[in-house]
Amino acid sequence: MKIEIQYIRYMPKELRSGVLYVSKEFNTAAHLCPCGCGAKIRTPLTATEWVLSVSERGPSLKPSIGNWQLPCQSHYWITNGEILWSTKWTSAQIANGRKQEDLRRKAYFDRDQNKQRSTLESLWNRLKNLFR
Ligand SMILES: [Zn+2]
C-alpha cells in the first residue's frame, strides 16, 4: 500500500486516502487511517512526537503509528512511501506504547530544564565574578 506526500499550508477538510498531508508551517501531518475506516490521523512533527523524513521513494514517519484510541486499533509504519502493517496491539502493548511516549516526553523536557538551569547558573556565576 502506497502513500505519497503532499505539502499544504492548512489541512484540507477532506483528506484523500494514500496521501500524507504535511504542513511545515504548523509542524504537523495528517492522513486517513489506511485500514479504510476513514479516521483522520494527526501526527504532530515535533521532537517529542513524530519525525518526518522524505526520500525519493516517499515519506517516512517515525516512530510507528498506533491508533489504539480508534475502534480499528491499526498499527503501522510509514516507510519510504509505503504502509507497513504491524500486528494489532494487545492491551499490554498499548500500555507499553503509552509509557514509552511519556518517557520520551519526560526525557525531552528534563533535558530542556537542565539546559535552562545551566544557563542560569553560568549567568549567576558571571554576575558573582563581576562583584568579586
Ligand atoms: Zn482505521
Which pLDDT does position 60 carry in this prediction? 98
Residue 132, domain extent: 90-132
85 and 116 inside one domain: no
7 and 54 inside one domain: yes
pLDDT digits (tens, 9 = 90+) for 7-24: 999 999 999 999 999 999
Q: Tell me the percentage of the chain whose pLDDT exceeds 90.
A: 59
45 and 64 inside one domain: yes
Tell me, in angstroms, the distance from the centre of ligand 1 to residue 47's CA: 25
83 and 122 inside one domain: no
117 and 60 inside one domain: no
Which pLDDT does position 89 carry in this prediction? 66
pTM recorded for the entire structure: 0.70
Tell me, in angstroms, the distance from the centre of ligand 1 to residue 68's CA: 10
pLDDT digits (tens, 9 = 90+) for 51-75: 999 999 999 999 999 998 899 989 9
30 and 46 inside one domain: yes
Tell me, in angstroms, the distance from the centre of ligand 1 to residue 113's CA: 37
Is the confidence at residue 44, as pLDDT, over 90? yes
Tell me, in angstroms, the distance from the centre of ligand 1 to residue 106's CA: 29
64 and 50 inside one domain: yes
- Say how far apart CA 63 and CA 91 lie, in whole Å: 19
9 and 72 inside one domain: yes
Which pLDDT does position 8 carry in this prediction? 97
Which pLDDT does position 104 carry in this prediction? 84
Residue 115 φ/ψ region, left for φ over 0, alpha for ψ in the -120 to 50 degree band, beta for the rest: alpha
Tell me, in angstroms, the distance from the centre of ligand 1 to residue 49's CA: 20
Tell me, in angstroms, the distance from the centre of ligand 1 to residue 66's CA: 10
Tell me, in angstroms, the distance from the centre of ligand 1 to residue 42's CA: 13
62 and 113 inside one domain: no
Residues 60-68: contacts with CB under 8 Å, at least 24 apart: 61/20, 61/29, 65/41, 66/93, 66/94, 66/97, 67/33, 67/39, 67/41, 68/94, 68/97
85 and 97 inside one domain: no
73 and 95 inside one domain: no
- Spatial strand order of the sheet with 75-79 comes to 51-55, 58-66, 75-79, 82-85
Tell me, in angstroms, the distance from the centre of ligand 1 to residue 37's CA: 4
Q: How many independent structural domains does the chain possess? A: 2
pLDDT digits (tens, 9 = 90+) for 82-129: 999 987 667 777 788 788 888 888 888 787 777 777 777 877 888 887
